[in-house]
Amino acid sequence: MDASRRAHVAFHLTGRRTGATSLDAVEGSGLRPALFARYRDLNDLRYDFPLVLDAGGGTLAESWSGACDRVLKDIARGEDGDRVSRHVLRLEREVRTAVASGAKGPLSALWARAAARLSSEDEPLVADSLNQAKTALGIDGEVADCDADLPRHLLTHAWSLTQARKAAAFRADLDRLVRGLTDILRADVAHSAEGCRADHLRAAVGGVDGDEIDFDALARVLTTAAPAATLAPARRRRIEGLIAALQSQDFYPAYAFTFNRPTAALAAYRGRLPKMAALAKAVAVAELEAQHSYREDRHDALFEHAGPDTLDPRDLGAFPDYFVSANARDLDPAEQAALLEMLSSGLPVKVLLQWDDLLDESPVGDGHLGLDPRCRQLATMAMSAGDAYVVQAPSSLLYQMRERLLGGMAYQGPALFSVFSGAGGQTDGLSPYLCAAAALESRAFPAFAYDPSAGSDWASRFSLDGNPQLDRDWPVQPFVYEDERHQRASESVAFTLADFVACDRRGARHFARVPRADWNGGFVSMDAAVLAGPGVAAGAVPALLMVDSALALQRVIVDERLLREVRRCREQWRSLQELGGVHNSHAERLVARERDRTGPPREAPAQHAPAVVIPEGQSAPAEVTDGPAPGQPYIETPRCSTCNECTNLNPNMFAYNENRQAYIKNPDAGTFAQMVEAAESCQLSIIHPGAPRNPNEPGLEELIARAQPFQ
Amino acid sequence: MTTASTHCLLEMYEERHELEDYQGGVPRWCSGCGDNAILTAVQRLCRDEQLKPEKTVFVSGIGCSSRFPHYMKTYGFHGIHGRALPVAEGVRLARPDLHVFVNTGDGDCCSIGAAHWIHAVRYNMNMTVFLHDNQIYGLTKMQASPTSPKGLKSNTTPRGAYLDALQPLTVTLGIQNVSFVAQAVDWIPELLYDTVKAAFHHRGFSFVRIVQRCPEWLPKLFEPVLHDPLRVQLLHHEDGLQPSPGLRAVYKNQLLHDPSNLDRAREIASVADPIPVGILYRNPEVPCYEDLRRTEHIRTPELIRAGLEAEFDRFTVWPQEAAG
């Protein structure tokens, strides 16, 4: 082993560059993972961001490039199509660049500024193209880029949309109840002596035809003819109390429901709980009253004890949800405890937990950087609560997960949105979008969703959708470059946690750049090193492919401590895979066992008899049924069409069952003559008279002959 | 929104309705009349679905069949001749919380009410419609109806009916937005019940033609069919009716028919002998008119007044404008 290779191994094992080696520190060298080589300037890329948060509420948000594509699909046609496309795409870039440089505001304002700039250039018909596009756009709202504010902006918007819908439904419900209760009171007045007075009647009819009616006469008639019943005083008081309670509620829109700290939300919830219980009770009683179903003897005692402890998620569902937008860095133990208490006790709370930084110094003090364990723990604990909706996603994926976000907001129960913003500020020039995407790619911050309303098992509830190349430990991408001889070369590169750490300036001590002259055959890729386990082949050193600011390819070796973190990250990802049904070890064992038991699959004939399909016109097999005892009269009851012929003839002998189909109730309750007559008059011929019960009945011989066709 | 305790209470005090709870009076129909079988099937449906009598309404026009609401202990509206459907549509719009049923006869629906029938199909409002088709005006003592068979001698056609009978199924299946069409016969109770049930569960305008015997005026009309099970054809399908093995053993003339196939449904409907029974067509995707017209605004007197004022204001001549 030569000296340089020994130095590489020494760095890998100790994390220290010995004085004699030519290994370079990566700090400040501007290196970035090789797979990011093409993503220098995001403004040149058409991707999901920025987003337009739909102020109209039709959708949650639309990606800016998606909106432009939609518009172009509608208007870029005919001979002007190319020109319109060119202008709209320039405007798109202009807006994206402005947003990336910090411009804020609604799309209409950004559009106007960008359009003014483009129109001032020496390009004809720009205004025409953009006017056409503006007309077809059909969306406006705040424009949000993928930055530190995105999670809060987007989730707050989603919460507001959901709450607006809930508020409208709640108010409509209250209005309906108040109207129903008021109608009961009004009807009572109309029935009263006062309501039957001539002047009241005249006012009720209105001006039209007022002279044609003698209201005094009408009042006399109504006073004597109208029912005298009026509302019981207790019911009147109850209804008046309900109307007052429903009209004076504080939940829509008086209270505030957005908080920055879980403890503040929990305190507010607890403080308002008695009022919430009282209002829920009032609504429930009002519902019964409006349907005239309230019975004092039944309901009084039960509603007397209705309080906060009888509220369940169905009741809470109609009230506004509490929205907590918290940053993980501010989450001290007390806040964390309040957060978990809310999530695990089914409170109507939607929590955005934003992570700006995923990496943390190892708590055991050995000086290496690792994934912050709280991130995984909090989401796992929320899922273990059973009825909390949990979504985890980096901000780069939020747009694609928008249905999940809306699902969590609409979910009747607690929801946790754990979002990594990528805006920790520890990366050298890497945008928050790329940083967040790197967290997703490297499995440092995998995306998942847990929806308790989707079913009763994990297969229905848990989803890993959104993660790239789900079935692998890490996504593997082709990487094409030019080698020393200017020939095209390519290799498959896995994006691991080491690549993510390499984007962070605090991770620099785990890496060392190898000068090109010292490149040798001892390098192995990170995924191969992880797969090989602790016993990496002697002399083999894991290395990353990175590029510098001049896009020159570099090899960077990684120390053992980071390799251990990468392994741990893979283990965590694998346990998520198992939950998501990917390489589930239980299922794989079962499959293997079944395969061993049944042998290899064969081209077997159908194991089940084919379903019998009776083609047109052919007969079905008859069902063999037990007949009645010989000589006993009977009716084919299921065929009876309730025509009343037999029951009119002798209701003691023939009767209807619970389906109003006839049967012989008592064959001795009449004569055989009646039995025969019933059989003859039954149009469906389903009455079978059997043998005579009384051998002394007159005319039996003739009756038996008449009964013969029906036996 | 109700509290948990209310849910429990409502369940605790939920009253189970038996068949007798839906019986509104002793029917005055003749013994042997097919209306009795329909009444029984519908009462069974109400019991099995536990429909609240106060949330159920039967609307009818005029004729023997239209006495139906009198015999149901629910809400009812015995309307005027041919106008059962518009009344039912009004009920549906004003009270979307009610289950709406319509009972109409071949004269009521296919003659004087034909225009309403066509448009009701097109509107596809959620209601269950039973066409009691006994092929004669029975209440007025035997006049030919649009569905009377050609050659039938009646008080209005003493030389026999001149025209081929109108086929209500083919007419219904030819109208835009048709969403459910089925046929039953009154003398196969199991099938009648299954058809009525399927119609009730369809959201939209469920049209069930029930071929029905009139023992008083046409006692012989269906006798050959009653005595020859092959003259009834059971339509069955996994998405349609699935008759019991017992029924299939008796009625051996069977046809596998997919109710989503409209063209095939029209072909089947045009056959009068054997009588096809079962679901001919079902399309749950057709929108209901009341859903298309649903508004967020509750029609309070204030809202109506405000709308009228706004409308009147459009035609107001303001003094200053008039002067100008």
Using CB atoms, pick whichever of A293, A306, A619 lies closest to residue B252: A619
**Strands, DSSP E only, in A502-637?**
511-514, 523-524, 541-547, 553-558, 634-635
d(CA A96, CA A482): 32
pLDDT of residue A601: 56
d(CA B228, CA B232): 8
Strand partners, A449: A391, A463
Residue of B nearest to A624 (CA): B246
| C-beta separation of B123 from B289 below 8 A | yes
d(CA A514, CA A622): 86
Residue A604's pLDDT band (boundaries 50, 70, 90)?
very low
Using CB atoms, pick whichever of B39, B189, B223 lies closest to residue A638: B189
| C-beta separation of A558 from A542 below 8 A | yes
Interface of B with A in 15-44 (CB under 8 A): 18-19, 27, 31-34, 36-37, 39-40, 43-44
Over range A322-332, report the average pLDDT: 90
- Using one digit for the tens of pLDDT, what is the confidence trace for A401-447? 999 999 999 998 899 999 999 888 778 778 889 899 999 999 999 99
d(CA A281, CA A551): 68
Count of other CB atoms within 10 angstroms of residue A707: 23
CB contact under 8 Å between A615 and B31, yes or no, is no
Over range A66-74, report the average pLDDT: 91
CB contact under 8 Å between B187 and A641, yes or no, is yes
Q: Has residue B4 got a pLDDT over 50?
A: no
Residue B125's pLDDT band (boundaries 50, 70, 90)?
very high
pLDDT of residue B321: 63
DSSP string across B270-315? T--SSEEEEEEEE-TTSPPHHHHT--SS---HHHHHHHHHHHHHHT
Residue of A nearest to B21 (CA): A658
Strands A511-514 and A24-25: antiparallel
Q: Has residue B8 got a pLDDT over 80?
A: no
| C-beta separation of A50 from A62 below 8 A | no
Count of other CB atoms within 10 angstroms of residue B252: 18
pLDDT of residue A59: 86
Give the best residue of B2, B3, B29, B254 to mutate against chain A (max A CB count within 10 A): B3
The better pLDDT of the pair B203, A371 is held by B203
pLDDT of residue A613: 39
Q: Does any CB of chain A come closer than 8 Å to the CB of residue B252? A: yes
The question of ipTM being above 0.90 is answered as no
Q: Does any CB of chain A come closer than 8 Å to the CB of residue B276? A: no
Using CB atoms, pick whichever of B13, B34, B192 lies closest to residue A298: B13
Task: Pick the most confident of A104-108, A294-298, B203-207, B319-323.
Answer: B203-207
Distance from CA of A694 to the nearest CA of B (A): 28
d(CA A141, CA A137): 12
d(CA B238, CA A9): 70
pTM for the structure as a whole: 0.65
DSSP string across A78-120? GGGHHHHHHHHHHHHHHHHHHHHTT--SBHHHHHHHHHHHHHH
Q: In chain B, pLDDT over 90 holds for what percent of residues?
A: 78
Q: Has residue A131 got a pLDDT over 90?
A: no
Q: In chain A, pLDDT over 90 holds for what percent of residues?
A: 26
The better pLDDT of the pair A684, B174 is held by B174
- Using one digit for the tens of pLDDT, what is the confidence trace for A152-198? 999 999 999 999 888 888 888 899 999 989 988 888 888 788 888 88
Residue A532's pLDDT band (boundaries 50, 70, 90)?
confident
- Sign, Cα dihedral of A677, A682, A685, A686: negative
DSSP string across A40-71? S-GGGS--S-SEEE-TTSSSSEEEHHHHHHHH
SS3 A664: strand
Quickly list H helices, A101-232. 107-120, 126-137, 150-191, 198-205, 215-225
pLDDT of residue A611: 36
Q: Does any CB of chain B come closer than 8 Å to the CB of residue A659? A: yes
CB contact under 8 Å between B36 and A643, yes or no, is yes
CB contact under 8 Å between A284 and B2, yes or no, is yes
Q: Does any CB of chain A come closer than 8 Å to the CB of residue B253? A: yes
Find the Cα–Cα–Cα–Cα dihedral B36, B42, B43, B49, rounded to 10°. 170
Residue of B nearest to A177 (CA): B1
Task: Pick the most confident of A19-23, A90-94, A567-571, B198-202.
Answer: B198-202
Q: Does any CB of chain A come closer than 8 Å to the CB of residue B194? A: no
Torsion angles phi and psi, residue B137, rounded to 5: -85, 110
CB contact under 8 Å between A614 and B254, yes or no, is yes
Residue of A nearest to B257 (CA): A616
| C-beta separation of B45 from B192 below 8 A | no
Q: Does any CB of chain A come closer than 8 Å to the CB of residue B261? A: no
Distance from CA of A179 to the nearest CA of B (A): 9
Over range B196-200, report the average pLDDT: 97
CB contact under 8 Å between B2 and A641, yes or no, is no
CB contact under 8 Å between B298 and A306, yes or no, is no
pLDDT of residue A363: 59
Q: Does any CB of chain A come closer than 8 Å to the CB of residue B134? A: no
Span of A581-595, B107-121, B248-262 with lowest mean pLDDT: A581-595
d(CA A94, CA A400): 24
Residue A297's pLDDT band (boundaries 50, 70, 90)?
confident
The whole-chain average pLDDT of chain B stands at 91
| C-beta separation of B142 from B217 below 8 A | yes
| C-beta separation of A290 from A177 below 8 A | yes
Residue B261's pLDDT band (boundaries 50, 70, 90)?
very high
d(CA A161, CA A154): 11
| Residue in this structure with the two tokens 């003398």, named with its chain if needed | B187
Tokens of A610: 């084919």
Residues of A in contact with B186 (CB under 8 A): 641
CB contact under 8 Å between B249 and A685, yes or no, is no
CB contact under 8 Å between B254 and A623, yes or no, is no
pLDDT of residue A317: 79
Q: Does any CB of chain B come closer than 8 Å to the CB of residue A614? A: yes
CB contact under 8 Å between B13 and A179, yes or no, is no
Radius of gyration for the alpha carbons in chain A, expressed in angstroms and rounded: 40
CB contact under 8 Å between B189 and A642, yes or no, is yes
SS3 B84: helix
CB contact under 8 Å between A681 and B186, yes or no, is no
For chain A, what is the largest distance between any 2 Cα atoms, rounded to a whole number of angstroms?
132
Interface of A with B in 550-609 (CB under 8 A): none
